[in-house]
Amino acid sequence: MENWAGHVSRRLKEADSTNKQARLWAREGAPHGAIVIAGRQTAGRGRLGRAWASEGGMGLWLSIIIRPQVPIASYPLLSFAMALAAADACAALSGGEIYIKWPNDLLLCGRKIVGILAEMEGTAAIVGVGVNLRQQAEDFPPELRETAGSLRMLTGRDVPPDALERALLDGLERRVDAWDFMDEYRARCSTVGAQVRVIEQETTWDGLATGVDADGVLLVRDDAGTVRRVLAGDVSIRKV
Ligand code: BT5
Distance CA 165, CA 27 (A): 24
Reading the chain (240 residues) residue by residue, the pLDDT tens digits are: 568 999 999 999 999 999 999 999 999 999 999 999 999 999 999 998 899 999 999 999 999 999 999 999 999 999 999 999 999 999 999 999 999 999 999 999 999 999 999 999 999 999 999 999 999 999 999 999 999 999 999 999 999 999 999 999 999 999 999 999 999 999 999 999 999 999 888 889 999 999 999 999 999 999 999 999 998 766 677 777
Distance 114 CA to ligand 1 centre (A): 7
Q: What is residue 234's predicted lDDT score, i.e. its pLDDT?
A: 60
Residue nearest to atom 21 of ligand 1 (CA): 46
Q: What is residue 202's predicted lDDT score, i.e. its pLDDT?
A: 86
Q: Is residue 73 exposed (0-12), middle (13-18) or buried (19+ Cβ within 10 Å)?
A: exposed
Residue nearest to atom 19 of ligand 1 (CA): 47
Distance 46 CA to ligand 1 centre (A): 4
Q: Is residue 203 exposed (0-12), middle (13-18) or buried (19+ Cβ within 10 Å)?
A: exposed
Residue nearest to atom 34 of ligand 1 (CA): 53
Give the orientation angle of helix 78-94 with respect to helix 161-178, to 10 degrees: 140
Distance CA 206, CA 218 (A): 13
DSSP letters of the chain? --S-TTSSEEEEEEES-HHHHHHHHHHTTPPTT-EEEEEEESS-B-GGG-B----TTSEEEEEEEE--SS-GGGGGGHHHHHHHHHHHHHHHHH---EEEETTTEEEETTEEEEEEEEEEETTEEEEEEEEE-S--GGGS-GGGTTTB--HHHHH-----HHHHHHHHHHHHHHHHHHT--HHHHHHHBTTTTSEEEEE-SS-EEEEEEEEE-TTSPEEEEETTS-EEEE-TTT-EEEE-
Distance CA 100, CA 185 (A): 9
Tell which one of 52, 134, 143 to mutate to probe ligand 1, the residue whose CB is within 8 A of the most ligand atoms: 52
User: Which residues form ligand 1's pocket by a CB distance below 6 Å?
Assistant: 17-19, 41, 44-48, 50, 52-54, 61-63, 112, 115-117, 128-130, 132, 144, 148
Q: What is residue 155's predicted lDDT score, i.e. its pLDDT?
A: 98
pTM > 0.75:
yes
Distance 225 CA to ligand 1 centre (A): 34
